[in-house]
Amino acid sequence: MPEPVVPEKPAVLTRPQIDEALAGLPDWRYRLGGLVTVYKLPTAAKALDLIAAVGRSAEEQNHHPDLDWRFNRVFIRFTSHDAGTEVTQRDITAAKSASSEAEAAGATPEPGLYRTIEVAIDTADPAEISEVWRVALGYKKGRYGDLVDPYGRGPSLWFQKTSTPSPNRLHLDIHRSKEESGGVLEKTAGTGALMDYGHAPHWVVVTDSQGNRLCLCTEEGHEPDL
């Protein structure tokens, strides 16, 4: 019998290629291997109509997004799982189609509302502990040694390798695009938190008055050390 034909994986786009495509997709942002946006509709019923329209388009293209409905807002994420949860040309095409459907529905783009949160663990040896967390969470291994929910529901888990782990080993990485990060950094600084800009513009380390940390990540990528 002839060997079954295995479909060729789609080519993963480089970051410059993604940025070039995003120049023509003002409603969308790049975030951790996907294209994301939020659309606001006049009513909840209109939001459901948009979901149905995007769904029909996805069926025609055989490329389906992660969709989240919150009253009159629709959160959308496109990524190519068969390419390692990365962005391919299919995601660019699908995002364009979704934008066309949103425009026809009278939707208002609000991409800044799409926040991506990771739980991060400081560790000197990620391999020593990652399997415990993967099995317990029911997650799969991600692109850079992180763990991701195969159904896209829970936050990903990032093992931050460092020889000087913080006493509080768990922290959050909060990812936004550069377009939306400035105001958040300013408001966070206004709370009195300690702001470490040593790694800006990629990320800013925030420490509260009790020593707990979070990272406001303003560009794609993970911090190598805190």
Q: Is the pLDDT of residue 95 over 50?
A: yes
Do 9 and 82 meet the contact criterion of CB atoms below 8 Å apart?
yes
pLDDT grade for 192, boundaries at 50, 70 and 90? very high
Half-sphere exposure of 191 (CA within 13 A, CB side): 12
Q: What is the mean pLDDT of residues 142-153?
A: 87
- The Cα–Cα gap between 160 and 103 comes to 41
9 pLDDT exceeds 80? no
Q: Report phi then psi at 147, rounded to 5.
A: -115, 135
CA angle 206, 175, 138 (to 5 degrees): 105
Note the pLDDT of residue 222: 47
Which pLDDT band, with edges at 50, 70 and 90, does 2 fall under?
low
pLDDT at site 144: 83
Look at residues 37, 40, 19, 35 and name the one whose alpha carbon lies nearest to residue 27. 37
Q: For the residues 109-123, what does the mean pLDDT come to? A: 92
Q: Which two tokens stand for residue 62?
A: 């055989």
Residue 139 in this model has a pLDDT that exceeds 90: yes
Distance (Å, whole) CA 71 – CA 216: 27
| pLDDT of the residue at 225 | 42
Are residues 202 and 136 in contact, defined by beta-carbon separation less than 8 angstroms? no
Residue 155 DSSP label: P
Cα-based distances in Å from 188 to 34, 66, 185, 205, 214 = 26, 30, 5, 11, 11
Residue pair 65/124 in contact (Cβ under 8 Å)? The answer is no
